């Protein structure tokens, strides 16, 4: 749990568990396992990046920091430049988007990491895998989705449009 979100913890003294409060942008928990504070609908929203040595499937466990949408299941979702694979939401049930600067903050936190799969909060929708032959990598699809979301909010001149891989 992040230090900034510790106010939401019901118990900080559970005898059967150790609560580690994270405050650095990234924390290596084990070799190949990194907690990444992204921010989002809570300031301490985070993802878990898993890339054990010699893995062929580096993975992001995104919870609800980013949310896969149905079009992420298209055979080649990155083929069209106007197709999202992910949403950046303040409220998933109400489909309320995060502000553009928060979308950029999430992207900046994820950018250093390679990943070919994402696992989210709702397995049938949220689990997305990069497949051979797709136009864009999964990481490129996250960036494309961020740009589409920010543009749809009316911020066509936002700094996210200068972002590249």
Q: Is residue 103 part of a domain?
A: yes
Quickly count: other Cβ atoms within 10 Å of residue 140's Cβ. Answer: 16
Is position 33 within any domain?
Answer: yes
Within a domain: residue 11?
no
Q: In terms of residue numbers, what domain contains 141?
A: 24-160
Residue 89 lies in a domain: yes
Q: What is the tens place of the pLDDT at every residue in 42-61?
A: 999 999 999 998 899 999 99
State pTM to two decimals. 0.92
* DSSP percent split of the chain into helix, strand, coil, nearest 5: 25, 20, 50
Residue 7 lies in a domain: no
Task: Supply the pLDDT for residue 16.
Answer: 82
Mean pLDDT of the region 59-71: 93
Please report whether residue 6 resides in a domain: no
The answer as to whether 2 is a domain residue is: no
Task: Give pLDDT, residue 9.
Answer: 83
- Asked if residue 3 is part of any domain, the answer here is no
- In this predicted model, what pLDDT tens digit does every residue of 80-138 receive, in sequence order? 888 899 999 999 889 899 999 999 999 999 999 999 999 998 877 889 999 999 999 99
CB atoms inside a 10 Å sphere around CB 89: 21
């Amino acid at each position: 749990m992040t230090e900034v979100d510790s106010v939401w913890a019901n118990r900080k003294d559970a005898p059967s568990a150790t609560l580690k409060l994270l405050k650095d942008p990234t924390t290596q928990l084990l070799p190949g396992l990194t907690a990444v504070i992204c921010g989002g609908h809570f300031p301490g929203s985070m993802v878990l990046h898993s890339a054990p040595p010699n893995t062929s499937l580096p993975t992001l466990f995104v919870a609800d920091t980013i949310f896969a949408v149905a079009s992420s299941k298209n055979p080649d979702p990155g083929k069209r430049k106007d197709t999202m694979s992910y949403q950046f939401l303040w409220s998933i049930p109400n489909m309320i988007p995060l502000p553009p600067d928060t979308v950029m903050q999430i992207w900046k936190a994820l950018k250093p990491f390679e990943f070919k799969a994402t696992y989210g909060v709702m397995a049938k929708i949220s689990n997305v895998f990069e497949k051979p032959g797709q136009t864009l990598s999964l990481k490129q699809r996250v960036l494309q989705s961020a740009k589409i979301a920010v543009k749809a909010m009316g911020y066509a001149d936002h700094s996210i449009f200068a972002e590249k891989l």
